[in-house]
Amino acid sequence: MKNNIIAKTLLTTYKYLETFASSVDKHINKRAEMSFFVSSNCENSVMDVTDKIIELSERKVNYINFKILIENYILTLTESQAEVVIERYIEGQESQAIANNLNIPIRTYYRKIEGAEGKLLPYFSENGYSEKRLLDIIQKDPLFYTAYQGINISGTLDERRLQHAL
């Protein structure tokens, strides 16, 4: 079950990764500009600014890596699995609408999406992201953590919550 939540978290956040990576750039620039007003007695010390910029840079690297890995993962799926993943997670369509679009029974849709989701973590693991490492990244990053919590609690996610995660 936890593996399924991790897979859904990564796939759900996919369409936001590019936007969040750009937003991280803006935050880095803002922190760097604010560093002009450095004082050892406040949160704007050189070490604090440096640590924050490094943290933000690491987040951006994760966003870029995950975006590339998810795109490459989709290429490894069967055509029918790729179709349901794209329609569900990238285009945001509902399950029944996807089944109707593809002229397949709803149960077939669920088998295809579950099969595709089940292939994501092994793919990430093959590319250096173990389940433990993914959970660590998810718990430390507001975008992934917000998605993970929403999916973990309700099984689905109101994606409007992700817009405020950065």
| Position 154, amino acid | S
> How many domains, in total, are found in the chain?
1
Q: What is the pLDDT of residues 82-119, one digit of tens each?
A: 999 999 999 999 999 999 999 999 999 999 999 999 99
- Indicate the pLDDT class of residue 146, thresholds 50, 70 and 90: confident
Contacts of 129 (CB under 8 A, 6+ apart): 69, 137
**Which residues span the domain enclosing 61?**
2-164
The per-type count for the chain, helices as H runs and strands as E runs, is 8, 0
Q: Quote the CA–CA distance of 76 and 72 in Å, as a whole number.
A: 7
Higher pLDDT residue, 126 or 149? 126
- Euclidean distance between CA atoms 84 and 89, whole angstroms: 8
